[in-house]
Amino acid sequence: MRFRERMYRFFAGRYGWDRLNWALLWTAVGLMVLNLFFSRLPVVYFLLYGLSVALYIVIFCRMMSRNIPRRQAENQRLERMWSAVCGEGRLMRNRFKDRKTHVFRRCRKCKAILRLPRKRGRHAVTCPRCGRHFKVFILFSGKQEKE
């Protein structure tokens, strides 16, 4: 029981594990897997091995750090980058999924992407973000229009 209490006391106030550590871990594992293919090139082999070991050391140092605000700031930077990448991917997926029923246009003022129904002709549009009014011309309709 004394050992467990000492371990609890040692790890109290340490930063621990977060998403940045996961990203670093998977990068290090990827470098180790990539290293398997470069075993015949000693310079590349040792470079990849050294990078992966350095990443493992960085992971360990981040986990054991007592400077929690700085580690949280590092993780927040990764979260912001990750959400930007995921947001772009989600937008591309939705644009592809809705390509037959909707048209996507960009507002000239605030650069927001607007999702408009695919109806042939000229349409007056108001940007929900900045409130700018402009006209959009849609050449092709999504389905055959019934007359």
Domains and CATH numbers, the chain: 2-97 (no CATH), 102-147 (2.20.28)
For residue 9, give the 3-state DSSP assignment.
helix
Give, to the nearest 10 degrees, the angle between helix 19-37 and helix 68-97. 70
| Tens digit of each residue's pLDDT (9 = 90 or more) over 51-80 | 999 999 999 999 999 999 999 999 999 999
Question: CB under 8 Å to 78, separation ≥6 — which residues?
Answer: 19, 20, 23
Dump the DSSP string for 64-91: H-S-HHHHHHHHHHHHHHHHHHHHHHHH
| Tens digit of each residue's pLDDT (9 = 90 or more) over 2-54 | 999 988 888 888 988 899 999 999 999 999 999 988 878 888 889 999 999 99
pTM, to two decimals: 0.61
Question: CB under 8 Å to 119, separation ≥6 — which residues?
Answer: 138, 141
> For residues 136 and 118, is the Cβ–Cβ distance under 8 A?
no
**Would you mind telling me the total number of residues written for the chain in this entry?**
147
Task: Tell me what pLDDT residue 146 has.
Answer: 44
Cα Rg of the chain (Å, integer): 26
In the structure encoding, which two tokens stand for residue 85, read together?
């990448």
Which H/E stretch holds residue 116? strand 113-117
